[in-house]
Chain A
Amino acid sequence: MSANQPVSQPASILTLQMQHRIGALELDVALNLTQLWTVLFGPSGSGKTTVLRAVAGFVRPDAGRIMHGKTILMDHGARVFVPPHARPVRSAGQGAPLFPNLTVLQNIAYGVKSRHDGSAADIVENAVERFRLRALAPKSPLELSGGERQRVAVVRAATSAVSLGPGTLLLLDEPFTGLDLARQEELLGELRSWLAENGVPVLSVTHDVGEAFQLDAEVIRIADGKVAAQGPVTAVLADDRQRLMDQLRG
Chain B
Amino acid sequence: MDFEALSLTLRLALSTTLILLLIALPLAWWIASGKGVARAFVQALVALPLVLPPTVIGFYLLVALGPLTLPGRLLIRLLGHPLAFSFEGLLVGSILYSLPFAVQPLVAGFSAVDREYTEAAEGLGAKPWQVFLSVVLPMTRASLITSAVLAFTHTVGEFGVVLMLGGNIPGATRTLSISLYDLVEDGNYAAANQTALVLIVFSVLALMAIYLLPGMRRSDGRQANIVR
A positions within 8 Å CB-CB of B: 56-58, 83-85, 90-93, 95-101, 110-111, 113, 141-142, 146, 149, 153, 156-157, 160, 164, 171
Contacts and interface: CB of A to CB of B under 8 A. Distances in A.
Interface string B120-157: 11111111100000110011000000000000000000
Contacts of B116: 93, 95-97
6 contacts: A93-B116, A95-B228, A97-B227, A100-B218, A100-B219, A110-B126
B123 A146 contact: no
Contact of B124 (A57, A83, A90): A90
The 9 nearest A-B residue pairs measured at CB: A111-B124, A91-B123, A101-B138, A84-B122, A100-B224, A100-B227, A160-B124, A96-B120, A141-B227
B190 interface: no
Q: What secondary structure prevails in chain A residues at the interface with B?
A: mixed
A90 B121 CA distance: 10
Given A58-B119, A97-B116, A99-B135, A85 B227 contact: no
A93 B124 contact: no
Nearest to A58: B119
Given A100-B139, A101-B139, A149 B123 contact: no
B226 interface: yes
A142 B134 CA distance: 18
Given A96-B116, A146-B228, A85 B219 contact: no
Given A97-B116, A100-B219, A156 B124 contact: yes
Contacts, number: 77
A84 B139 CA distance: 22
Given A111-B123, A146-B228, A160-B124, 4 more contacts: A56-B123, A110-B134, A142-B226, A160-B125
B135 A96 contact: no
Interface centre among B117, B123, B219 (most CB of A within 10 A): B123
A99 B228 CA distance: 9
Most A C-beta atoms less than 10 A away, residue of B117, B127, B227? B227
B123 A84 contact: yes
A18 to B, nearest CB: 19
Question: Counting chain B CB atoms within 10 Å of each CB, which of A85, A90, A95 scores highest?
Answer: A85
A146 B224 CA distance: 14
B120 A93 contact: yes
B114 A97 contact: yes
A103 to B, nearest CB: 13
A56 B134 CA distance: 20
B114 A92 contact: no
Interface string B93-137: 000000000000000000000101101111111111000001100
B142 to A, nearest CB: 12
Interface string B207-228: 0000000000011000010111
B123 A90 contact: yes
Given A93-B116, A97-B114, A97-B117, A149 B227 contact: yes
